Chains A and B, each alone.
Chain A
Amino acid sequence: MIIRVEYLSKVYRMGKVEVPALRDVNLEIEEGEFLAIMGPSGSGKSTLLNIIGCLDKPTGGRVFIDGANTASLSENELAEVRRDKVGFVFQQFNLIHSLNALENVSLPMFFAGVSRGERLKRAEELLAKVGLRERMHHKPLELSGGQQQRVAIARALANNPKIVIGDEPTGNVDTEAGNVIMGILGDLNREGKTIIVVTHDPVIAAHAKRVIRMRDGRLLDEE
């Protein structure tokens, strides 16, 4: 079991109003799974992924990643989890615009202290893997949405994480590009990576081997 979520809750405080985004969520994900999370907007999907990806902290409950309780990790150790264990793919791509594709993909390896030569070599391989060898030296804004998202996937893979998380990775691209992206995620899953994606689209969700649904911050029973 690579991820275990126990009684996870998250409450956002906006002034005096408390917005419960997650209520007692329990979830276990095995290594090598391809999991899709579906549910209406506002049901807490992003909140859950952010906490699993160590981008955010829960209000209650515990998350174990690869056996480690994230609550007991320091800021630096959480950064290491984000750097080495989890690759995060955003709906908005979130590439750094001043850097070209190659440099964007190298960045997580830079933070990991990988040598420059090795970094560029691996970044090149990863871009080739997502079909962007020809676009290596382009800046993000010179690429289409689908291409940008593929760069983002290559970046997520930079430090060879066991887990890849996508929060609506196909939400900002057309159907065709969406299928390419899901195809890449499927390939990664076949290579042994654990994949978790949020999506609204049942066709996209069909790529996954397991689908869970959320509503009002709760997990619904699995089908």
Chain B
Amino acid sequence: MIDIILMAYRDLSERKARTILTLLGIAVGIAAIVSLVSVGYGMQEAITGELTVFADLISVMPGKLAGMSYVELGSFTDRDIRDIRRIGGIKEVTAMTHGAAEVEYRNERKPVFVLGGDTDALSSFYVEPVGLDEGRWLRENDYRVCVIGNRVATEFFDEPVHVNDKLRINGEKFIVAGVFKKASMLYAMDVDPHIFLTLRAAKDVLGNEKAKYKYITVRVYNIEEVDEIADELEERINDNHGLDEFATAMTMGSMLERISSVFSILRGVLVGIAAIALVVASIGIMNTMLMAVMERTHEIGVMKAIGAKNSDVLSLFLLESCMVSLIGGVAGCILGVILARVVSLVVSSALGMEFVPTVKVGVLFAGVGVAMCVGVLSGFYPARKASKMSPVEAVRYG
């Protein structure tokens, strides 16, 4: 056994350039799979890690989530809020409203989304995780005062907006009390492009019609009850609006499920891409092995002439492709882990969200396993072809 390995090794090292190319093909394919999957898991863990902080939270929206898209069906009313408060086990209910408004700054006008709500609740949702760059947060008795997201301050208008600057929101004068820091990926869409007001001010500027609540958040006392309460909450609001599916109440549990399903789709796509890379690599191996068979026709003939059985030749060639793919697989795993780190660094800084790749041992084993399968499968045809050659014709060749 040792000798046959040695022999295969020598054959491979004699054809260094091509062996290295094949090795590389497999290694790159496996590295792609390992790194993409590890980065995917790492991101997922980072996001779910941040979200588990909100385990006592229920978010209620007046619409339906279908896959990744959201269809708004209307707004919540004061009656909805009263009814929710009556449900047992609820610690706190916050209603928020939002809508587009025309914002004027130094004679420049832009449409911007305005968000109003309970200032304490908004603070724990947004100010605590994101933080303010300048100024202070809203107070409940503030009136014509706003806090703006980082992109509103730096990108929306020709001139940057700072604390104490004046904005007109739908014609009403406001003073900027604070500016948010740039938010991480998780919060970027919620914070960066928005202007935050007190609920009263938001109702005023958005007008009575639009001032109905677009978003309700509920905190419960007991995390165990959170799903139960969410169901009851949906039912009551649906009753109020006379629709079967008007409200969507999401708990972190259901949110985490959604996220993990999105990530598993994402991983599927990534693995699919990597699989294509592997198919290409396997064509490469097959080609290498076919060339090796061709090149060594004479040698195979000699081996058969001195008593090698077909199975001896077959196993010699299969062993060669196994060795190539094993080394390729292991190298691919190492490369993949390194690549995953690099990609994570780049993606972390691009998205403003800290995370490290999660390298699962199973993924590494699968990587090597896949490499071996690819190697053996693509080596099999050439090996079989080699083993079936007639000794006399093979010896005469070359």
Q: Which A residues are closer than 8 A to B by beta carbons?
A: 50, 53, 55-56, 75-76, 79-80, 82-84, 88, 90, 94-96, 98-99, 103, 106-108, 110-112, 116, 155-156, 158-159
Contact = CB atoms under 8 A, between A and B. Distances in A.
A116 B2 contact: yes
B7 A82 contact: no
Contact of B395 (A84, A94, A155): A94
Contacts of A98: 7, 10-11, 14
Given A75-B310, A82-B307, A111-B309, A116 B3 contact: yes
B299 A56 contact: no
A151 B309 CA distance: 22
A110 B4 contact: yes
11 contacts: A76-B310, A79-B308, A79-B312, A83-B306, A88-B305, A94-B298, A96-B299, A96-B302, A98-B14, A111-B312, A159-B307
A178 B308 CA distance: 28
Contacts of B312: 79, 111
B49 to A, nearest CB: 55
Contact of B306 (A50, A103, A108, A116): A108
Contacts of B2: 116
A79 B309 contact: yes
Nearest to A116: B3
Given A55-B391, A82-B391, A111-B312, 6 more contacts: A75-B309, A80-B307, A80-B309, A83-B307, A94-B302, A116-B2
B306 A82 contact: yes
Question: Counting chain B CB atoms within 10 Å of each CB, which of A99, A106, A108, A111 scores highest?
Answer: A111
Main secondary structure of the interface of A (DSSP, over half): helix
A155 B326 CA distance: 33
Interface string B385-398: 00000111001000
A208 B325 CA distance: 53
A158 B305 CA distance: 13
Contacts of A96: 299, 302-303
Contacts of A159: 307
Per CB-CB distance, the 10 closest pairs between chain A and chain B, nearest first, are A83-B307, A56-B392, A55-B392, A79-B309, A94-B302, A108-B306, A55-B391, A82-B307, A98-B10, A111-B307
Interface residues of B, number: 24
B218 to A, nearest CB: 75
Contacts of B298: 94
B194 interface: no
Nearest to B1: A116
Nearest to A158: B306
Contact of B7 (A53, A83, A84, A99): A99
A131 B308 CA distance: 27
Contacts of A56: 390-392
Contacts of B395: 55, 90, 94
A111 B306 contact: yes
A220 to B, nearest CB: 25
Contacts of B305: 53, 55, 82, 88, 90, 94
A38 to B, nearest CB: 21
A114 to B, nearest CB: 11
A95 B306 CA distance: 10
Contact of A155 (B299, B306, B308): B306
B321 to A, nearest CB: 17
A37 B298 CA distance: 26
B306 A88 contact: yes
Contact of A107 (B14, B306, B309, B391): B306
B307 A112 contact: yes
Contact of A79 (B10, B299, B302, B304): B304
Given A56-B390, A79-B310, A110 B302 contact: no
A78 to B, nearest CB: 9
A111 B308 contact: yes
A31 B299 CA distance: 31
Q: Which of B307, B310, B312 has the most CB of A within 10 A?
A: B307
Contacts of B4: 110
Interface string B3-17: 110010011001000
A155 B14 CA distance: 23
Interface in B284-305: 298-299, 302-305
Given A56-B392, A82-B391, A107 B303 contact: yes
Nearest to A87: B306
Interface in B308-322: 308-312
Contacts of A99: 7, 10
Interface string B361-398: 00000000000000000000000000000111001000
Contacts of B10: 98-99
A159 B306 CA distance: 10
Contact of A82 (B3, B299, B304, B390): B304
Nearest to B7: A99
B287 to A, nearest CB: 21
Nearest to A79: B309
